[in-house]
Amino acid sequence: MITSRQHPFVQRCRAVAAGRGEADDVLLDGAHVVADAIEAGVRLEGVLVDDRHDRLAEAWQARGIAVLHASAAATEAASPVRSPSGIVAIARWAPAEAVTLLAQSHPRLVGLVGVQDPGNVGTIIRSADALGATGVLVLDDSAAPGGWKALRSAVGSTFRLPVGVGPAADVLAEARRRQVRTVASVATSGAAPDAGLLDVPLLVLVGNEGAGLPPDLVDACDQRVTLPMRARVNSLNVATSAAILLWEMTRPLRDRRPS
């Protein structure tokens, strides 16, 4: 059993959490996200498990997962979370190139431009997975989708849904080439989303928590949409806005389902 905070795997977990790990190393904390990674076929380098989770440890070992039994103190040292779960893993995962997601047969994508809070990035990925989008593009200087905070907020959806990263300008150019309709979410002067998010190949862009989308990207999009709100409220959290837009943009998919 690992009991030392100085154990090499514990130290490796701390390095990955701080962004000092090897390329494609990501840190997972919690039973659900680790289980989802396993089900998605993500390669795990190792899973630290304390004695609260012996049954899970046995089940994972039976599937050939490298389980490292550890004390609660060791798992707490390995985890960056304030209230550690007692399960910490290192996995190998990397996002796709954003432009490749536009090659889908009928894309319904949401793009994040400069969304800096990793919790928002993860929440939007989870909403996209839940509501039926075909992928998420994390663009420009948005928080990395493979950071531990983003992965924790996405609760496994990152491993089930295509996620791509890259420059927004390249994505817009490729969308134009592939005739994917691009829609900018703006605070004012846009169409209502139920009028704009048609049953066509679609990419909806949402912007930075404070500044929104850069004006040049808004101008480059085919259309603008604005969420109707009471006059006394001038904005919504970007993850909330994205969830509403995702609901609208996936409506055609739900409407085609048999009742």
The dotted CATH code for 96-255 is: 3.40.1280.10
**Pick from 161, 108, 172, 106: which is nearest to 139 by CA?**
172
CATH number for 8-92: choose from 3.30.1330.30, 3.40.50.800, 3.40.50.300, 3.30.565.10.
3.30.1330.30
b/e burial code for range 132-163 (CB count within 10 A of at least 16 → b): bbbbbbbbbebbbbbbbbbbbbbbbbbbebbb
**How far from the centroid of its chain's Cα atoms is residue 48's Cα?**
23
Tokens of 227: 């969420």
- The whole-number pLDDT of residue 228 equals 80
The tokens for 67 are 């389980």
pLDDT attached to residue 199: 79
Provide the β-strand partners of residue 2: 70
CA–CA separation, 194 vs 180, rounded Å? 18
State how far the Cα of 147 lies from the Cα of 16, in Å rounded to an integer.
9
Q: Where in the chain is the domain with CATH 3.30.1330.30?
A: 8-92
Q: Let me know: does 246 contact 131? Beta carbons within 8 Å.
A: yes
Q: Is residue 163 within 8 Å of 145, Cβ to Cβ?
A: yes
**Interval 86-136: pLDDT, tens:** 999 999 999 999 999 999 999 999 999 999 999 999 999 999 999 999 999
Residue labelled with tokens 């998919």? 253
Mean pLDDT across the stretch 22-34? 95
The C-alpha atoms of residue 25 and residue 44 are separated, in whole angstroms, by 9
Residue showing tokens 């703006």: 186
| Longest pairwise C-alpha distance within the chain | 61
pLDDT at 255: 62
Using only C-alpha atoms, what is the Rg of the chain? 20
Q: How many residues does the chain have?
A: 259
In whole angstroms, what is the distance from residue 254 CA to residue 247 CA?
10
pLDDT at 196: 59
Domain(s) labelled CATH 3.40.1280.10 in the chain stretch across 96-255
pLDDT digit string, tens, across residues 166-206 = 999 999 999 999 999 999 999 878 888 875 577 789 999 99
Per-residue pLDDT reduced to its tens digit, 46-84: 999 998 999 999 999 999 999 999 999 999 999 999 888
Q: What is the mean pLDDT of the chain?
A: 92
In which residue are the tokens 């990152």 written?
Answer: 158
Q: How far apart are CA 168 and CA 257, in angstroms?
A: 33
Q: Render pLDDT for 139-168 as a digit per residue (tens, 0 to 9).
A: 999 999 999 999 999 999 999 999 999 999
pTM of the model: 0.92
In angstroms, rounded to a whole number, what is the distance separating the alpha carbons of residues 192 and 242? 14
